[in-house]
Chain A
Amino acid sequence: MKALCWHGKKDVRVENVPDPKILNPRDCIVRITATAICGSDLHLYNGNIPTMQSGDILGHEFMGEVVEVGREVKNLSVGDRVVVPFTICCGRCFFCQRELWSLCDNSNPNAELPAKLYGDSPAGLFGYSHMMGGYAGGQAEYARVPYADVGPLKIENGFTDEQVLFLSDIFPTGYMAAENCNIQPGDTVAIWGCGPVAQFAIHSAYFLGAERVIAIDRFPERLELARRWGKAETLNYEEVDVFEALKEMTGGRGPDACIDAVGLEAHGTTIDALYDRAKHATYLGTDRPHALRQAIFACRKGGTISIAGVYGGFLDKLPFGAAFNKGLKFAMGQTHMLRYMRPLLERIHQGQIDPSHLITHRLPLDKADEGYAIFNDKQDECIKVVLKPGAN
């Protein structure tokens, strides 16, 4: 089959590789009909996530048709159409039983690696480094899905792939970011970043009762989408002082909740952002938490910081004194996908949102490498790239 393989920093190639096989009784094989490039794939593309190996197949947002099931998978049949969540979960461990799906104890074959770095291992992920299990990803013609009796969501109504594909990661991720804000009537939510996850977080914050949503970015097309599609107020951080503007807009109190939808590769124009870039460029630091610092500084006393952007290592110069003395609450982590996939499918069904609105680029799988370059450089006002295996 054809698959998009990682070979190093900014080096991804579509290659011919063997087809996946069933390896465990609870596996299934999916023939992929649509797959997307995620903002977090760019962290891999830019070489910011450790334990990648040359030849690893990328991709964790995918859907398709079941073509083979393992002997323990009773709820799926060949021919079923499924959206596959990006986190892999057994459904039976302490964490799955508590619906902390992204913290599954039994889905990472390399659990001892993150245990050394993080103290314990989170769930295995598709196409997201060997520390996260080393599973082959879904930017391919076929993928093997472990614990297929738990994760995949069957799509039974006549939705198009583009309407439901983002249930594989970014819609639930944006929703959880908003849910983590514990939004109360009258609340203002500020969101750093206007990428795809942030766009879903904007919609979700309104679903959950926010009165105002303020979205922060520097790309005009993303700010425009946040205003037009999300009905958010926007701030361009290259034009205004974000902290002053947020204080001004909230009567000096600050936003009730702040969502960091940027993560470890933040850009900024302030001195700390330049410091991060210098450290990163000289291999003295791993993550660049500029957006998170600003969110902590701007958040109102007793407010909530919700982190949806990915962090991997150690964060420098984090204003923890501000967080402590303002009594902030923190919520973060990979998305507990199975809590959200079905309810959000229902919202799509009811016509509350059409996720396909986000797609700016559609490419055949053969041109996946081109898709990465376009998305990474934000060329051509790119917001979301969808790849279609089998298309030309």
Chain B
Amino acid sequence: MSQSATAGLAMEPLDFQTEHRPAKTTNVSGMERLASAVAGGVLAGWSLVGGRPRLLPLAIGGSLLYRGISGHCSLYRALSINSARSASPAVGVRARHGCKVEHRLAILRPADELYRSWRDVANLPRILRHVVRVEAIDERRSHWAAQAPLGATLEWDAEIINEREPELIAWRSLSGSQVDTAGSIHFQPLTHGRGTLVTVSLKYEPPGGKLTAALAEWTGAGLESRIKEDLRRFKNLAEAGEIPTIEGQPHG
């Protein structure tokens, strides 16, 4: 993914000189343009320092810079992404918007037990590694706090929009939150004593745009990797009663 992103961006300065092209519309949001321009400027500057200019970083840096200044990204156009449409004080995530992550895992426990364990929000900070705390406001609403990159904390309120014991729980963030997210967890009993198939799906608006989300995924810091790890922790806790750890053990 990141490779195609690089290739698409690197092509941009060449395209710029071509004539008879439709007008380029702005499809990159304000914050993302600033980030793109700064990163591009730094990269392009670095590529010119020292002896021979480094061509690939120069091309990438230049195109990021252009992307930031012009607000147009051909890769986004190719992918039909537009992060410039102003995000309204959304409830959850609008249709065909944001990133969607889905992951499944079979857990050798009955569905009703897993359902109850997830439904009790007090259990969730232990399972979800980046969630610092969850406080129930009432039966359906809860307040969430999670660690974000660079030591920041994100907070939001969420409400349960659908629940069918012991099959499914669905939720979304409420307006005025720092995070726009919607998600669900399904519990599907398996035959022949194979436990329960648990499916988590999550939609969210990545703070730095989809490109940032793709890069984060590539480095293993993205939401998809987190969901995988967290679902495994849920399984560890449900099956073994604890989450395996080596934090705090001796070493030389």
**Partner-B contacts on A (CB < 8 A):** 1, 3, 5, 7, 13, 15, 17-21, 23-26, 53-57, 72, 88, 90-94, 97, 105-109, 111-112, 124, 133-136, 140, 144, 146-147
Contacts and interface: CB of A to CB of B under 8 A. Distances in A.
A124 B249 contact: no
Nearest to B252: A5
B51 interface: no
A105 B246 contact: no
Contacts of B239: 90, 92-93, 105-106
20 contacts: A13-B252, A17-B250, A18-B250, A20-B249, A20-B250, A23-B245, A23-B249, A24-B242, A26-B240, A53-B251, A57-B250, A88-B244, A93-B239, A94-B194, A97-B108, A107-B240, A133-B244, A135-B249, A136-B246, A146-B244
Contacts of B235: 105-106
A93 B240 contact: yes
B252 A94 contact: no
A19 B244 CA distance: 19
B248 interface: yes
A93 B232 CA distance: 12
B81 to A, nearest CB: 28
B121 interface: no
B195 interface: yes
A329 B252 CA distance: 43
Given A94-B195, A112-B228, A112-B229, A106 B244 contact: yes
Contacts of A88: 244
Given A57-B250, A88-B244, A146-B244, 14 more contacts: A1-B250, A3-B250, A3-B252, A15-B252, A19-B250, A23-B245, A55-B252, A93-B239, A94-B195, A106-B235, A106-B240, A109-B246, A112-B229, A136-B251
B108 A94 contact: yes
Contacts of B246: 23, 109, 133-136
Contacts of A24: 242-245
Contacts of A25: 241-242
Contacts of B250: 1, 3, 17-20, 57, 136, 140
Given A72-B241, A105-B235, A106-B239, A23 B106 contact: no
A96 B229 CA distance: 21
A28 B169 CA distance: 37
Interface of B: 106, 108, 194-195, 225, 228-229, 232, 235-236, 239-252
Given A94-B108, A94-B194, A112-B228, A21 B248 contact: yes
Nearest to A94: B108
Contacts of A92: 108, 239-241
A93 B106 CA distance: 10
A26 B241 contact: yes
Contacts of B236: 106
B106 to A, nearest CB: 7
Nearest to B105: A105
A1 B252 CA distance: 11
A359 B246 CA distance: 32
A5 B252 CA distance: 6
A236 to B, nearest CB: 40
B244 A109 contact: yes
B100 to A, nearest CB: 21
Nearest to B236: A106
B229 A17 contact: no
A107 B241 CA distance: 12
Nearest to A4: B252
Contact of A90 (B225, B240, B247, B248): B240
Contact of A23 (B194, B240, B248): B248
A237 B123 CA distance: 60
B106 A57 contact: no
B108 A23 contact: no
A53 B108 CA distance: 33
A111 B252 contact: no
Contacts of A18: 250
A3 B249 CA distance: 12
Given A106-B236, A112-B228, A136 B241 contact: no
B191 to A, nearest CB: 14
Nearest to A24: B242
Contacts of A17: 250-252
A67 to B, nearest CB: 15
A356 to B, nearest CB: 30
Contacts of B229: 112
B109 to A, nearest CB: 9
Contacts of B242: 24-26, 72
A69 to B, nearest CB: 14
Contacts of B106: 94
Q: Which of B228, B232, B241, B242 has the most chain A CB atoms closer than 10 A to its own CB?
A: B242
A150 to B, nearest CB: 10
Contacts of A134: 246
Given A106-B244, A134-B246, A136-B250, A112 B195 contact: no
A135 to B, nearest CB: 6
Nearest to B194: A94
A68 B191 CA distance: 40
Contacts of B247: 23
A229 B248 CA distance: 44
Contacts of B232: 111-112
A108 B239 CA distance: 14
A35 to B, nearest CB: 15
B240 A147 contact: yes
Contact of A124 (B195, B244, B251): B244
B99 to A, nearest CB: 20
